Amino acid sequence: MLLKADLHVHSTYSDGKASPQEILYTARERSLHVVAITDHDTFAGSVVARRYSNTAQDLPLVILGVEVRCDEGDILLYCEREVDFPRRVDALIEKAHAENCLVVPAHPYDIMRLGIGELVLSYNDWDAIEVWNASATRGANLKAIKAAQVLGKPGLANSDAHIPEEIGLAYTYIEVEDLTLDSVMEAIRRGRVKPVYRSRPLNVTLKRVFWSIKRSARSSTRS
Ligand SMILES: [Zn+2]
């Protein structure tokens, strides 16, 4: 069966607008079968989402995730359970594989948003590359597609949603035998994926910009 997955979404546990529950309902509306909530430096949003998805019918499968701010840039980590994450890329890759997690550089060529840049080519043990990020520039995404080809790695397309309107904007088809987390993780490792490249429409970009301004104004009045 072919599953539709968005594996890069932010919730209220970092700088996203939607709660984990809202993300799951929106993802279901958009016909997503699998979601990874990947808040900055915390698994908390995805842990809440998984707990919630297990109690309700027909909600998407939740992969535990985190977007780790490494010294070198942002890296996505997908795991079966919460793990500690080192802040250096080489140590993170080693830890990820020891824990059976997947390790994927986020928007590698979007330097403004802390992609790791050309360093992506210095490591050959990524499980996949985020080749399309709906929030990144087309130029940055094209370079990421090339890097995945050079390294011979599977490519993922994700929304990097911070507001509900962005969820599922870009997504990846994953071919699995059955609808289980194990099968999804294994299918990504084996490259049974097809990223769908879609960019963010202008009206959604404006909403996202508005949300970022509102959020930073809110956090500066708090501090
Ligand atoms: Zn992100």
Distance 76 CA to ligand 1 centre (A): 8
How much is the pLDDT for 222? 53
75 Cα to the center of ligand 1, angstroms: 9
Per-residue pLDDT band at 44 (split at 50, 70, 90): very high
- Backbone φ and ψ for 114, nearest 5 degrees, come out as 65, 35
Q: How far is the CA of 49 from the centre of ligand 1 (A)?
A: 17
Centre of ligand 1 from the C-alpha of residue 183, in Å: 24
Give the C-alpha separation, 129 to 148, whole Å: 6
Please say whether the beta carbons of 48 and 18 come within 8 A: no
pLDDT value of residue 223: 46
Cα-to-centroid distance, 93 and ligand 1 (Å): 18
Q: What is the pLDDT of residues 79-123, one digit of tens each?
A: 999 999 999 999 999 999 999 999 999 999 997 889 999 999 999
Cα dihedral 23, 25, 31, 35 in deg (nearest 10) = 40
Going from the Cα of 15 to the center of ligand 1, the distance in angstroms, rounded, reads 9
Amino acid sitting at position 130: E
Q: pLDDT band at 217, cuts 50/70/90?
A: confident
Task: Tell me the two tokens of residue 36.
Answer: 């990874």
Q: How far is ligand 1, taken at its centre, from the CA of residue 171, in Å?
A: 14
Strand order in the sheet with 102-105: 102-105, 74-79, 61-69, 34-37, 2-9, 171-175, 193-196
Q: How many angstroms does the Cα of residue 2 sit away from the middle of ligand 1?
A: 25
Q: What's the CATH code of the domain at 10?
A: 3.20.20.140
| Partners of 66 in the β-ladder | 77
Which of the four pLDDT bands, split at 50, 70 and 90, describes residue 142?
Answer: very high
Distance, CA 9 to ligand 1 centroid (Å)? 7
- pLDDT tens profile 171-213: 999 999 999 999 999 999 999 999 999 888 999 999 999 998 9
Give the pLDDT mean for 53-67: 93
What residues make up the domain containing 52?
Answer: 2-222
Please give the distance, rounded to the nearest whole angstrom, from the Cα atom of residue 39 to the centre of ligand 1: 7
- The CA–CA distances, whole Å, from 113 to 5, 104, 108, 182, 183 equal 22, 15, 9, 31, 31
Report how far ligand 1's centroid is from the alpha carbon of 38 (Å).
7
Provide the residues around ligand 1 (an ion) whose CB is within 5 A: 67, 160
Please tell me the total count of domains within the chain: 1
